[in-house]
Amino acid sequence: MARFLDTSIVVRYLTGLPHHEAVVAGSIIDQAELLTIGGVALAETSFVLASVYRLPRETIIDQIIDFVQRENIDVRGLDKGYVVQGLLMCRPSGRVSISDALIWAEARSAGGDTVYSFDQRFPNDGIEVRASI
């Protein structure tokens, strides 16, 4: 049986706020049981950390990378290596969005070789990005 994490648990865990909820989040995440998180929850976590907590982009990326690399965290349907690689493409600049990095990781994890996008900034490392057929 898979046990999934919601964004709210991850945000409390990463920020430590509010303290009483962060303690509960820590007791859930720090135990040895395998926990699953989806790409949508990771993208939402990055959004909340940026918009509500005003954390710098580099801090958000580093925290999410550290989080997904935990042994008891399964990123549903995604290869952790591609998730980390995609997020690292976001770190040096604002060129690649975290959501695009996760879409890129999904495509790579599924063995995809093409992503259709009008976004000129979409990461193309190892895949072809097309706007038309």
pLDDT digits (tens, 9 = 90+) for 75-131: 999 999 999 999 999 987 778 999 999 999 999 999 999 999 999 899 999 999 998
pLDDT digits (tens, 9 = 90+) for 27-55: 999 998 999 999 999 999 999 999 999 99
Residue 86 near residue 122, CB atoms below 8 Å: no
3-state helix, strand, coil split of the chain in percent (to 5) is 50, 10, 40
pLDDT of residue 133: 59
pLDDT of residue 92: 79
pLDDT of residue 62: 97
pLDDT of residue 132: 65
Q: 102-118: buried (b, 16+ CB within 10 Å) or exposed (e) per residue?
A: bbbbbbbbeeeeebebe
Overall pTM > 0.75: yes
